[in-house]
Structure 1
Amino acid sequence: MVPPDELDEHNLTDEVRELAAAESRYVLVCRKGGRPSWLERIWSFLRRQPIEAVTIVTNQRAEAGDHVTMTVRETALPEVYETVQSHENLD
């Protein structure tokens, strides 16, 4: 998670930085498809195919290891999404 006041301190593309800075939003890097099972992690390791990441620009603060549920929309940037709605997490 990159908070709005630290956007310039991280290795973000100019486009992502501008998208987040426009409304003082957070940048989250999450696993594509959500939380993988142990079997999916092992299978990914054996096939030497890393778990893909996506970038989400959002108003919701989250820390490493937090589980978040959001409705997102695509942006013009590949693998970068904006939050349309955050959902209450039931973990």
Structure 2
Amino acid sequence: MPETITGTVIHVVPPDDRDDHDLDPALAERAAGNYIVVCRRGGSPSFLRRVWSLLRGGSIDAITVVTAEEYAEGDRIAIEASPVGVAGVYDATER
């Protein structure tokens, strides 16, 4: 079931660079010819929220989206994607 993924791009793996990264085999197969975009779910937190998270020992909610569209680090995204069998990975290529 597709859902709307919103977030801020923190890392992008272009199709030609997939071999330079140690990817899960299932993710690498699904991403063939597509971009792998790692996002901070919900966007960038405010300065106070970052400090509060640091003090509490929290972490960011990172997700991975396989998409045919090119994004750059820092871009805000809002795309429809479906979860796949790998935890935290979504596919936005099947629409």
Q: TM-score range by the shorter chain?
A: 0.7 to 0.9
Residue 69 of structure 1 deviates from its aligned partner by 1.4
Counterparts of 1:47 and 1:8 in 2: how far apart (Å)? 36
State how 1:8-23 maps to structure 2 within 5 Å. 8-21=19-32
CA contact (8 A) 1:4 1:20 kept: yes
* Higher share in strand: 2
TM-score (norm 2): 0.78
Give the structure-1-normalised TM-score. 0.81
| Higher RCO structure (Cα 8 Å, ≥6 apart) | 2
What pairs up with 1:69-84 in 2 under 5 angstroms?
A: 69-83=78-92
Give me the identity figure in percent.
40
| Structure 2 spans left out of the alignment, 5+ residues | 1-11
Checking the alignment, whether the CA contact within 8 Å between 1:71 and 1:84 is kept in structure 2 is: no
Q: Hey, which bits of structure 1, 4+ residues long, moved more than 4 A?
A: none
**Residue 38 of structure 1: how far off its partner (Å):** 2.2
Please, which runs of 5 or more residues in structure 1 have no aligned partner?
86-91
Q: Report how many aligned residue pairs link the two structures.
A: 83
Task: Report the RMSD for the aligned CA atoms in angstroms.
Answer: 1.6
